[in-house]
Structure 1
Amino acid sequence: MSEEPPVTPSWLTPDPTAWASGGGGPMDNSTSLGTFPPDDSLQPSQLPLLVNPWDIVLCSSGTLIACENALVVLVIWQNPALRAPMFLLIGSLALADLLAGLGLVLHFTCAYLLRSDSAQLLTVGLVVASFSASVFSLLAITIDRYLSLYYALTYNSERTAAFTYTMLVLLWGLSLCLGLLPVTGVNCLAEEATCSVVRPLTKNNIAVLSVSFLLLFGLMLQLYVQICKIVMRHAHQIALQHHFLAATPHYVTTRKGVSTLAIILGTFAACWMPFTVYSLIADYTYPPLYTYATLVPATYNSVINPVIYAFRNQEIQKALWLVCCGCVPASVAQRARTPSDV
């Protein structure tokens, strides 16, 4: 019976000692730090265990993501008042980011303890599925915000709830399919030449994910432009009734709302665009340092999401205060909802 080849602790390089290499391909160990001379007499489980510092960063990010989003999921789950379509979508986003954080932690644990191909495929599949669900949930929230303004009079209806449930089923079903691809054989474990910058995903697999992201980003950009037009038109109509466009509070709050939308879209692009573009032009021969440098900021989007979409919401703020201290401060209870909360 043939021996199983050594398994890569890191999911980004075929060689666990190549993480520090600044040039050449990932098999170039000439500038690696803390390397050990190879010993063919050792079994895979007896090989020196090198911990990639970048993997520690990803694991730490995963821990923060999981804890932060677990709080949001807990609050929405325990509060019966938070069952509107908007909160269901925010809960979907928090659940996706929670699973993404757990996926990063589990991958680190399995890669450096189990060191098996099966564990690697399962954890990478979980990360792909959860981050895909996170991006799809952001798109669903954008669609919901657009519909809530465009169909303001009929938004709070059973039709809206049915549409929301349909979006949730579709986005989680599609995300699950994407996450199952590495497990069902769409991976580069058998042929390293087909690997992308994220092992064991193939170049074609990650190209599909990247192109899909760019299309979703373009759709979100278009929807946010339409949202800004609707909000500005409504504010202008209200301002004309008061005959004071620049001085009316509606103009100020509307300007805040448009700025908030720009921050939301800008943050999303800043976190994901570097990794998306890099994964399209690079392959497994590129230095792993570049992959880590673009992948880590992408995970920060899941750290920022609860701050933008959950913790700023007045109803969720009240629920958080009730969970933490059993009371709601007057400043939170009396704060009026403005377009900046959109």
Structure 2
Amino acid sequence: MSDHYEASVIPSWLTPDPTAWSGSDRGFADNATYPPLDSLPSLPPLLVNPWDVVLCSSGTLIACENALVVLVIWQNPALRAPMFLLIGSLALADLLAGLGLVLHFTFAYLLRSDAAQLLTVGLVVASFSASVFSLLAITIDRYLSLYYALTYNSERTAAFTYTMLVLLWALSLCLGILPVTGVNCLAEESTCSVVRPLTRNNVAVLSVSFLLLFGLMLQLYVQICKIVMRHAHQIALQHHFLSASPHYVTTRKGVSTLAIILGTFAACWMPFTVYSLVADYTYPPLYTYATLVPATYNSVINPVIYAFRNQEIQKALWLVCCGCVPASVAHRARTPSDV
């Protein structure tokens, strides 16, 4: 029991209950085993893990930011093209992920419900999985819009988009069940990963899936860059001034934008993915939080990259917030840097 008394800060993502103490090997708090309050020795005050506060704050920002995107797309009938449906899917996934982080903090420190924590971790896993899958779907959509430019706006494209949405959310929900299946690691700590209640096998599935998706996105963005540069080169040759062509300059900006998108995605998720594969429950909790927090920042950045930069969504936001659209936004021409 003395070991439990010494710890005033227990990370909620590494134990089922941050304020629980008991003699049970599983580490669950059991109301039936609590001794009378007057028999307890004096204990240091229980503190909230600051890393959990950071995750909860990130979740709040993620939820608010993406709720605005979902609201704008939902209320604007003009934003029903396949591209906006995929952006809406991304925003909805990030919104649910943000809510999951906030709910996990609430259940861990306030309600102290182990079952609820399992469900919230499942919600977080499913939501972030849907976010990553939505990013892949957006990449596929952008590739097809360039490769099949003449037939892109057909009914077949809309049907394909709906199919992708159904598949990505179904697969994400399946991955969200993993934390519940990993409840056994709470009884056998050696099977746990760096994030409880996920087992090492659960995390291996998620990490390998991410690496495969990242490799596919990388390949698609390389193909997008080739198509964009080829089109820019053909247009520039018609003007006889390759380096001075405005279209060529904006195309280079578009390629740079794609590099920023992919680089941001990798910088946010790759540290946590690699660390999850090589580490186990014996590693210091600090490393888990230091790699998990940047992964959540990807959901903060997604609306800026995919939604707020879009001209149509900008117009809708101005209408919602101010009731008017500035001339600089209304008449801005779409360029390759918007891809």
* Alignment partner of 1:27 is 2:29: yes
Gaps of 5+ in 2: none
Q: 2:179, 2:198 within 8 Å by CA — same for their partners in 1?
A: yes
> Distance in 2 between the 1:221 and 1:45 partners?
57
Q: 2:59, 2:101 within 8 Å by CA — same for their partners in 1?
A: yes
Q: CA deviation at 1:24?
A: 20
Q: 2:185, 2:199 within 8 Å by CA — same for their partners in 1?
A: yes
Partner SS, residue 45 of structure 1: coil
Q: CA deviation at 1:49?
A: 3.7
Q: How does 1:1-342 map to 2 (within 5 A)?
A: 10-13=12-15, 16=18, 49-184=46-181, 187-342=184-339
Partner SS, residue 332 of structure 2: coil
> Distance in 2 between the 1:297 and 1:30 partners?
39
Q: CA deviation at 1:183?
A: 2.3
Q: 2:20, 2:29 within 8 Å by CA — same for their partners in 1?
A: yes
> Distance in 1 between the 2:207 and 2:185 partners?
18
Q: CA deviation at 1:11?
A: 1.4
> Distance in 2 between the 1:22 and 1:220 partners?
46
- Structure 1 outlier segments of 4+, above 3 Å: 1-9, 13-31, 36-42, 44-49, 184-187
Residue 29 and residue 206 in structure 1: after superposition, are their counterparts in 2 closer, same or farther (change >3 A)? Answer: farther
Count of aligned residue pairs for this structure pair: 337
Q: 1:73, 1:95 within 8 Å by CA — same for their partners in 2?
A: yes
Residue 296 and residue 6 in structure 1: after superposition, are their counterparts in 2 closer, same or farther (change >3 A)? Answer: closer
Report Cα offsets for 1:214-241 as digits up to 9, x if no partner.
Answer: 0000000000000000000000011111
Question: Could you tell me the TM-score, scaled by structure 2's length?
Answer: 0.89
Q: CA deviation at 1:189?
A: 1.8
Q: CA deviation at 1:190?
A: 2.3
> Distance in 2 between the 1:276 and 1:28 partners?
34
Q: 1:256, 1:340 within 8 Å by CA — same for their partners in 2?
A: yes
Partner SS, residue 179 of structure 2: coil
Identity of aligned residues (%): 92
Residue 83 and residue 161 in structure 1: after superposition, are their counterparts in 2 closer, same or farther (change >3 A)? Answer: same
Residue 47 and residue 196 in structure 1: after superposition, are their counterparts in 2 closer, same or farther (change >3 A)? Answer: farther
Whichever structure has more helix as a proportion of its residues is: 2
Report Cα offsets for 1:68-103 as digits up to 9, x if no partner.
Answer: 000000000000000000000000000000000000
Q: Higher relative CO (CA 8 A, sep ≥ 6), structure 1 or 2?
A: 1
More displaced 10-residue stretch of structure 1: 128-137 or 8-17: 8-17
Residue 29 and residue 270 in structure 1: after superposition, are their counterparts in 2 closer, same or farther (change >3 A)? Answer: farther
Q: 1:103, 1:127 within 8 Å by CA — same for their partners in 2?
A: yes
Q: CA deviation at 1:335?
A: 0.2
Residue 23 and residue 266 in structure 1: after superposition, are their counterparts in 2 closer, same or farther (change >3 A)? Answer: farther
Partner SS, residue 40 of structure 1: helix
> Distance in 2 between the 1:333 and 1:271 partners?
33
Q: 1:22, 1:289 within 8 Å by CA — same for their partners in 2?
A: no
Residue 258 and residue 115 in structure 1: after superposition, are their counterparts in 2 closer, same or farther (change >3 A)? Answer: same
Q: CA deviation at 1:193?
A: 1.2
Residue 186 and residue 173 in structure 1: after superposition, are their counterparts in 2 closer, same or farther (change >3 A)? Answer: farther
Superposition CA RMSD, Å: 5.5
